[in-house]
Amino acid sequence: MKKLDPTKMHDWEIAGEAESAMKTIDQLGDELGIDKMELMPYGHYVGKINYMLLDKRLGHRPRGKYIVVTAITPTPLGEGKTTTTIGLVQGLGHLGKKVIGAIRQPSGGPTFNIKGSAAGGGLSQCIPLADFSLGLTGDIDAVTNAHNLAMVALTSRIQHEFNYTDDFLKKRGLRRLNINPKTATMGWAMDFCAQSLRNIIIGLGGPTDGFMMESSFQIAVSSEVMAILAIAKDLKDMRQRIAKIIIACDTAGRYITTRDLEVDGAMTALMARAINPNLMQTIEGQPMLVHAGPFANIAIGQSSIIADRLGLKLADYHVTESGFGADIGYEKFWNLKCRYSGYAPDCAVIVCTIRALKMHGGGPQVLPGKPLDPAYTRQNLGLLEKGADNLLAHIAIVKKSGATPVVCINHFYTDTDEEIGLIKGIAEKAGARVAVSKHWEKGGKGAAELAQAVIDACAEPGGFKFLYSEATMLHSRIELIAREVYGADGVEYLPEARNMIRKIEDDPELSRLHTCMVKTHLSLSHNPLLKGRPRGWTLPIRNILIFGGAGFIVPVTGDINLLPGTGSDPAFRRIDVDTKKGKITGLF
């Protein structure tokens, strides 16, 4: 394998070279101590782990150290959180530690749009890149199909109940559910960004073409089915949760579930293989588990509990990824995922870049697909110091949970020693460890300082605690998250949201569900244009969704869509196939 230089090579070129020296999936399994029957190969270099068999054999083994990677509020370009997760795994490996990582599977939406894949970058990537980026072992397809099968069951049932008599339905073993078509709580799912499908009308034509009604699409990874994949403890738990998915109401206002439509078993059948985590590797050969999906702004956005459970049994250090900044992804890791799993982190890594902090200090707008303004590649300590307020907010969020924070300065070659020194001093004064990591440029060797800081942090005693108790009322939870995490002065409810709050809090079963916020990732507030650490603002709640299967109440803040749009210069324009070698080119 030739020398890999990320300053002169595209990510897909680096991945292509590294793939020539990959370990086979059997080698990875042997190194981890996974038996042949516990490993399900998908070709030579990718496989699934049969979690049932491995759980049964390793159930007695004590867990390793648990590290979660989060970040500051990013620019629209992202600040390298996945790259840092992979780099930290490589760095711990470089220091001789037995380590495994867990990251989320990339969605086809960003992969073919502006942001690109989520395989890392430079010399810290998850490979093979094309398999990782283009469907992997079919988990997102399974989520999409299970979600859409629920919609098939709903829409066909509405059509048949509208067109046929009770006797006709009874002869087919069906009872009339009296579904109100205007109350459908979910639409269709697809794994692309397609703004033209956000609001649609279906059933055009005659009576045999379905019932005409308003509907919608959402991106597949925002589906409640994906949330269930992320939090399910086992197949039985997944089966029970899928049966509780609320899909509409009847004419009396009673919730209609997938169990009522008798589609829950078939949905679980579609997901039965997807519940097993995928096994891949870093460029340097450390094992990576890939499971569940991204988008912590509109979903839970966490790598799965099952992947973390296996990683904690298979290694001395397990590094897991949490979506976007500490205000979104880490808050959900803290108050949702850890509550479901029973695990507490030994350390939380907060990724920041000089670039993003300058933006938060008032730097020029950062736009995807556009060249960076020179302000971001030239030293400007004034912008940087002002923007550090955003970093301080994220350190405070992590400390509020009782976890030990480690700030990772994801190093760009344009960063100066003075800029690095300024951020180090500010973060250390706030009570965080700080490390500079050059994993993008130098791989595991470049992440050694970060890895050592994490090892030291994990040796400290923890004091992890949830933000609220399970007995806390929904409106109080929302208020706590808004004030204590986002920094809002208070909460304002639109009438529809206020009515839903009352309905939920009056229902003994629904009031026990947990809280999963939907909020922009581009600001601590609900407004993506408010950078830094906004003060003197109120959080608007415009809608409340119920994810009965996942066990979430989902407050929706600001103006945010469950189906992103495709930009004017999408990544699919550069993705192609080398027809002589059969290699995918242009992925990033």
Active site residue 272: no
State which H helix or E strand residue 508 sits in: none
Q: What count of Cα atoms within 13 Å lies in the side-chain half-sphere of residue 561?
A: 15
Interatomic CA distance for residues 392 and 557, integer angstroms: 23
Helix (H, G, I), strand (E, B) or coil at 407: strand
Assigned token pair, 127: 């490979």
Interatomic CA distance for residues 128 and 281, integer angstroms: 8
Active site residue 65: no
Q: Out of 48, 65, 97, 104, pick the active-site residue.
A: 104
Phi, psi of 575 (to 5 degrees): -90, 135
Cβ(562)–Cβ(299) under 8 Å?
Answer: no
Q: Out of 57, 259, 377, 412, pick the active-site residue.
A: 412
Task: Give exposure, 424-456, as e/b (b: 16+ Cβ within 10 Å).
Answer: bebbeebebbbbbbbbbbbbbebbbbbbebbbe
Q: Out of 324, 333, 334, 552, pick the active-site residue.
A: 324
Q: Out of 12, 217, 440, 537, pick the active-site residue.
A: 440
Chain centre distance of CA 392: 23
Active site residue 183: no
Active site residue 115: yes
Sort strands 65-71 and 347-352 into parallel, antiparallel or unpaired.
parallel
- The residues pairing with 217 across neighbouring beta strands, listed in sequence order, are 188
Active site residue 104: yes
Active site residue 572: no
DSSP state of 500: H
Helix and strand numbers (H, E) in the chain are: 21, 24
Q: Out of 48, 65, 97, 115, pick the active-site residue.
A: 115
Query: Over 3-58, what HEC string results?
Result: CCCCCCCCHHHHHHHHHCCCCCHHHHHHHHCCCHHHEEECCCCCEEECHHHHHHHH
Assigned token pair, 28: 């990875």
Helix residue ranges, H only, 254-377: 264-271, 305-314, 331-332, 338-341, 354-360
Assigned token pair, 289: 């588990």
Q: Out of 81, 244, 358, 531, pick the active-site residue.
A: 81
Cβ(278)–Cβ(202) under 8 Å?
Answer: no
Active site residue 557: no
Q: What count of Cα atoms within 13 Å lies in the side-chain half-sphere of residue 480?
A: 16
Active site residue 466: no
Q: Is the dihedral of CA 323, 324, 328, 334 positive or negative?
A: positive
What is the set of active-site residues? 81, 83, 104, 115, 296, 324, 412, 440
